[in-house]
Amino acid sequence: MAEDDRPIRQKMPYVCEQAAGSYAWCRCGKSAKHPFCDGAHRGSAYRPEIVQLDTARRVAWCGCGRSAKPPFCDGTHSKL
């Protein structure tokens, strides 16, 4: 298995009060608008994770990019 060379933006989630809507979570780790995609993945093998929130709610977006349940934090950051 190839080593994961994506940058780790932060070893904690981005906890946000989000409105209902569609969001594109950055998977490549290069976005300047982290945790959201800004198109920086172009030319790489990574694509953003698109998620639809049907209602407004508090979200813990993964900030490390290593969650097993992307785009949400699952605590994996604590093992990095």
Which residue ranges make up the site for ligand FES (CB under 6 A)? Answer: 12-13, 62-64, 66-67, 73-77
Q: HEC string of the chain?
A: CCCCCCCCCCCCCEEEEECCEEEEECCCCCCCCCCECCCCCCCCCCCCEEEEECCCEEEEECCCCCCCCCCECCCHHHHC
Distance of closest approach, residue 78 Cβ to ligand FES, in angstroms: 7
Distance of closest approach, residue 51 Cβ to ligand FES, in angstroms: 15
Question: In the complex with ligand FES, which residue's Cβ is closer, 13 or 48?
Answer: 13
Question: In the complex with ligand FES, which residue's Cβ is closer, 29 or 41?
Answer: 29
Distance of closest approach, residue 19 Cβ to ligand FES, in angstroms: 21
Q: Tell me the C-alpha distance between 30 and 1, whole Å.
A: 22
